[in-house]
Structure 1
Amino acid sequence: MTDRVLLLLLIYLTHSTSYSVDVGVVLHRTKTVHLIDPTARLRDWTSGSNPCNWTGIECDTATATVISVDLSSFSLTGTFPSGFCDVPTIRFLALGDNFLNGTVTSEDIASCHYLHHLNLSINNFVGQLPDFPVQFRQLLRLDLSQNNFSGVIPESYGSRFKKLQVLNLFANAITGVIPTFLGNLTELVEFNLAYNAFDVGKLPSEIGRLSKLENIWLPFSNLVGEIPEAIGNLMKLTNLDLSDNGLTGTIPESIGRLKSIKQIELYRNNLSGSLPKSLGNLSSLLRFDVSENALSGRMLTEFAGLHLVSLGLNDNFFEGEIPGSISSNPNLIELKLFNNSFSGRLPQDLGRNSDLELFDVSTNRFVGELPVDICHRGALRSLIAFNNKFNGSLPAKYGECNTLSYIRVQNNSLSGEVPESFWKLSKVYRMEICYNFFEGTLSPSIGTCRNLTQMLISNNNFSGSLPAEICNLSFLSVMDLNQNNFSGELPRCVTSLTKLEKLGLQDNSFSGKIPIGSWPVVTEMNLSGNRFSGTISSDIGKLPVLTYLDLSRNQLTGPIPQQLSNLKLNSFNISYNDISGRVPPPFDTSFYLPSLVGNPNLCSNHLPPLLPCSARRTTDQFSKFIKHVLLIATFLSTAGLVLLSVLCWIRNRRKNKKNLKSGKRVIKPRSVWKFTSFQKVGFNESDVFDSLTESNLIGSGGSGRVYRVTLKTGQTVAVKKLSANGHKNPDVDFESEVNTLSRIRHTNIVKLLFCSTSEDARILVYEYVENGSLGDILHGEKGGTLLDWERRVKIAVGAAQGLAYLHHDCVPPIVHRDVKPNNILVNVDFIAKVSDFGLARMLPRVNDARVMTNIVGSYGYIAPEYAYTMKVNEKSDVYGFGVVLLELVTGKKAVESEMEEGEEIVKWVTEKKAELEKGGLDLGSLLDSRLNWSSTYDYEGMIKILNVGLLCTSRFPMNRPTMRTVVDMLKNLAQVHSPSPHVPLTADVKV
Structure 2
Amino acid sequence: MRMRVDLIYLSVVACFLPSPFYSVSGLNSDGQTLLSLSRHWISIPSSLVSSWNASEANPCSWVGVFCDHNKLLVSLDLSSFKISGEIGPEISGLTHLKSLNLSSNHIFGLIPSQIGNCSLLQHLDLSLNILNGKIPDSLGNLLSLRRLSLFNNSLNGSLPESIFHIPSLKSLRLSFNQLTGLIPSNLGNASMLQELYIDNNQFTGSLPDSLNNLSNLVYLDVHSAGVEGRIPLGHGDCRDLIYLDLSFNHFFGLPPELGNCSNLQQFAVVKCRLTGPIPSSFGQLTKMTLLYLSINQLSGKIPPELHNCTSLSDLQLDQNQLEGSIPSELGMLKLTSLFLFDNYLSGEVPMSIWKIETLENLLIYGNSLFGELPIEVTRMKHLREFTLFDNHFSGIIPQSLGINSSLTKIDFYNNSFTGRIPPNLCFGKQLERLILGFNPLEGSIPSDVGNCPSLERLILDNSNLTGVLPEFVDSPNLLFMNLKNNWLTGEIPASFAKLANITEINLSMNRLSGLLPQELGNLLQLQVLNLSRNALEGPLPSQLGNCSRLLKFDASHNLFNGSIPTDLRSMSGLLTLDLSENHFSGNIPTFVTEFQALIDLRLGGNSLGGTIPSSIVGLKTLGTLNISSNGLTGLCVDCGLNCDAGRNFTRCTHSSDKQRGLTKFQTAMVALGTSALMFAVVIGLGFMLQCRKREKHDIEEIYDDKEDGSLFHKVMVATEDLNDKYIIGRGAHGTVYKASLGPIDGVYAVKKLMFGASKEGSTSMVREIETVGKVRHRNLVKLEDFWMRKDYGLILYRYMHNGSLHDILHEVYPPPFLDWSIRCNIALGTAHGLAYLHFDCDPAIVHCDIKPMNILLDADLEPHISDFGIAKLLDQSSAALMSGTLCGTIGYIAPENAFTSTKSMESDVYSYGIVLLELITRKKAVDPSFADGMDIVRWVRSVWSEKVEVEVVVDAGLYDDLYDSCVMEQVMEVLQLALRCTETEASRRPSMREVVKELEDVYSAISSKLK
Shift in Å, 1:773? 4.7
Matched AA of 2:518: R
Alpha-carbon distance in structure 1 between the residues aligned to 2:36 and 2:59: 12
Alpha-carbon distance in structure 2 between the residues aligned to 1:173 and 1:293: 26
Shift in Å, 1:582? 0.7
Match of 1:487 among 513, 521, 528: 513
Alpha-carbon distance in structure 1 between the residues aligned to 2:991 and 2:415: 34
Residues 871-905 of structure 1, C-alpha deviation per residue, up to 9 Å, x if partnerless? Answer: 9xxxxxxxxxxxxxxxxxxxxxxxxxxxxxxxxxx
> Does 1:194 find its partner at 2:341?
no
Match of 2:181 among 126, 142, 151: 151
Shift of the 476–776 alpha-carbon distance from structure 1 to 2, 3 Å rule, reads closer
Number of the residue aligned with 1:502: 528
Shift of the 191–20 alpha-carbon distance from structure 1 to 2, 3 Å rule, reads farther
Shift of the 376–171 alpha-carbon distance from structure 1 to 2, 3 Å rule, reads same
Number of the residue aligned with 1:266: 293
Any stretches of 5+ residues in structure 1 without a counterpart? Answer: 1-16, 623-628, 647-665, 695-704, 724-729, 752-767, 784-791, 808-814, 828-834, 842-851, 858-864, 872-991
Alpha-carbon distance in structure 1 between the residues aligned to 2:375 and 2:176: 48
Residues 65-111 of structure 1, C-alpha deviation per residue, up to 9 Å, x if partnerless? Answer: 3332222212222221454554444321111111111111212x143
Match of 2:355 among 324, 328, 337: 328
Match of 1:855 among 990, 1002, 1006: 1002
Q: Is the 8 A contact 1:210 1:234 kept in 2?
A: yes
Match of 1:130 among 151, 154, 160: 160
| Secondary structure at 1:350 match in 2 | helix
TM-score by structure 2 length? 0.64
Residues 312-349 of structure 1, C-alpha deviation per residue, up to 9 Å, x if partnerless? Answer: 11111111111121232232111111222222223332
Higher deviation after alignment, 592-601 or 667-676? 667-676
Matched AA of 1:91: Q
Shift in Å, 1:523? 0.8
Residues 746-779 of structure 1, C-alpha deviation per residue, up to 9 Å, x if partnerless? Answer: 523999xxxxxxxxxxxxxxxx989975687789
Q: Is the 8 A contact 1:23 1:87 kept in 2?
A: no
| Secondary structure at 2:344 match in 1 | coil
Q: Between the two proteins, what is the percent identity of the paired residues?
A: 25
Q: Is the 8 A contact 2:246 2:269 kept in 1?
A: yes
Shift in Å, 1:381? 1.1
Shift in Å, 1:608? 8.4
> Does 1:176 find its partner at 2:323?
no
> Does 1:709 find its partner at 2:896?
yes
Number of the residue aligned with 1:400: 427
Alpha-carbon distance in structure 1 between the residues aligned to 2:461 and 2:629: 31
Match of 2:436 among 403, 409, 424: 409
Shift of the 333–668 alpha-carbon distance from structure 1 to 2, 3 Å rule, reads closer
Number of the residue aligned with 2:145: 115
Q: Is the 8 A contact 1:773 1:822 kept in 2?
A: no
Shift in Å, 1:305? 2.1
Match of 1:352 among 375, 379, 393: 379
Matched AA of 1:613: C
Higher relative contact order (CA 8 A, sep 6+): 1
Number of the residue aligned with 2:242: 214
Shift in Å, 1:681? 14
Number of the residue aligned with 1:21: 28
Alpha-carbon distance in structure 1 between the residues aligned to 2:646 and 2:676: 17
Alpha-carbon distance in structure 1 between the residues aligned to 2:676 and 2:157: 77
Match of 1:163 among 192, 203, 207: 192
* 1:213-612 mapped onto 2 (5 Å cutoff): 213-224=241-252, 226-374=253-401, 376-444=403-471, 446-515=472-541, 516-568=544-596, 569-588=598-617, 595-600=626-631, 601-604=633-636, 606=645
| Secondary structure at 1:311 match in 2 | strand
Alpha-carbon distance in structure 1 between the residues aligned to 2:916 and 2:503: 29
Shift in Å, 1:419? 1.4
TM-score by structure 1 length? 0.65
Alpha-carbon distance in structure 1 between the residues aligned to 2:606 and 2:301: 60
Number of the residue aligned with 1:205: 233
Higher deviation after alignment, 336-345 or 142-151? 336-345
Shift in Å, 1:740? 7.5
Q: Is the 8 A contact 1:737 1:837 kept in 2?
A: no
Alpha-carbon distance in structure 2 between the residues aligned to 1:558 and 1:145: 71
Alpha-carbon distance in structure 1 between the residues aligned to 2:114 and 2:232: 38
Shift of the 220–274 alpha-carbon distance from structure 1 to 2, 3 Å rule, reads same
Q: Is the 8 A contact 2:545 2:570 kept in 1?
A: no
Alpha-carbon distance in structure 1 between the residues aligned to 2:480 and 2:655: 51
Shift of the 94–488 alpha-carbon distance from structure 1 to 2, 3 Å rule, reads same
Shift of the 750–166 alpha-carbon distance from structure 1 to 2, 3 Å rule, reads closer
Shift of the 291–27 alpha-carbon distance from structure 1 to 2, 3 Å rule, reads farther
Alpha-carbon distance in structure 2 between the residues aligned to 1:209 and 1:144: 25
Q: Is the 8 A contact 1:27 1:83 kept in 2?
A: no
Alpha-carbon distance in structure 1 between the residues aligned to 2:990 and 2:548: 27
Alpha-carbon distance in structure 2 between the residues aligned to 1:97 and 1:40: 22
* 1:641-720 mapped onto 2 (5 Å cutoff): 673=845, 677=849, 708-709=895-896
Number of the residue aligned with 1:982: none
Shift in Å, 1:509? 0.8
Shift of the 822–543 alpha-carbon distance from structure 1 to 2, 3 Å rule, reads farther
Alpha-carbon distance in structure 2 between the residues aligned to 1:90 and 1:562: 82
Alpha-carbon distance in structure 2 between the residues aligned to 1:99 and 1:36: 15
Alpha-carbon distance in structure 2 between the residues aligned to 1:638 and 1:503: 58
Alpha-carbon distance in structure 2 between the residues aligned to 1:567 and 1:825: 28
Alpha-carbon distance in structure 2 between the residues aligned to 1:870 and 1:749: 36
Shift of the 146–296 alpha-carbon distance from structure 1 to 2, 3 Å rule, reads same
Q: Superposition RMSD on alpha carbons, in Å?
A: 5.1
Residues 424-454 of structure 1, C-alpha deviation per residue, up to 9 Å, x if partnerless? Answer: 112112211112111110122x132122121
Number of the residue aligned with 2:99: 68
Q: Is the 8 A contact 1:190 1:216 kept in 2?
A: yes
| Secondary structure at 1:278 match in 2 | helix
Residues 99-154 of structure 1, C-alpha deviation per residue, up to 9 Å, x if partnerless? Answer: 111111212x1432211111011111111102216861111111112111111112
Q: Is the 8 A contact 2:393 2:415 kept in 1?
A: yes
Alpha-carbon distance in structure 1 between the residues aligned to 2:413 and 2:198: 42
Shift of the 855–523 alpha-carbon distance from structure 1 to 2, 3 Å rule, reads same
Q: Is the 8 A contact 2:500 2:524 kept in 1?
A: yes
* 1:866-945 mapped onto 2 (5 Å cutoff): none
Number of the residue aligned with 1:907: none
Q: Is the 8 A contact 1:358 1:383 kept in 2?
A: yes
Q: Is the 8 A contact 2:340 2:364 kept in 1?
A: yes
Shift in Å, 1:217? 0.8
Residues 219-256 of structure 1, C-alpha deviation per residue, up to 9 Å, x if partnerless? Answer: 122101x3111111112211101111122221111101
Shift of the 777–388 alpha-carbon distance from structure 1 to 2, 3 Å rule, reads closer
Q: Is the 8 A contact 2:528 2:552 kept in 1?
A: yes
Q: Is the 8 A contact 1:707 1:720 kept in 2?
A: no
Any stretches of 5+ residues in structure 2 without a counterpart? Answer: 1-23, 76-97, 638-644, 661-666, 685-837, 852-866, 882-891, 960-969, 983-988
Number of the residue aligned with 1:79: 110
Match of 1:721 among 906, 914, 920: 906
Residues 441-476 of structure 1, C-alpha deviation per residue, up to 9 Å, x if partnerless? Answer: 0122x1321221211111111110011111111112
Aligned residue-pair number: 737
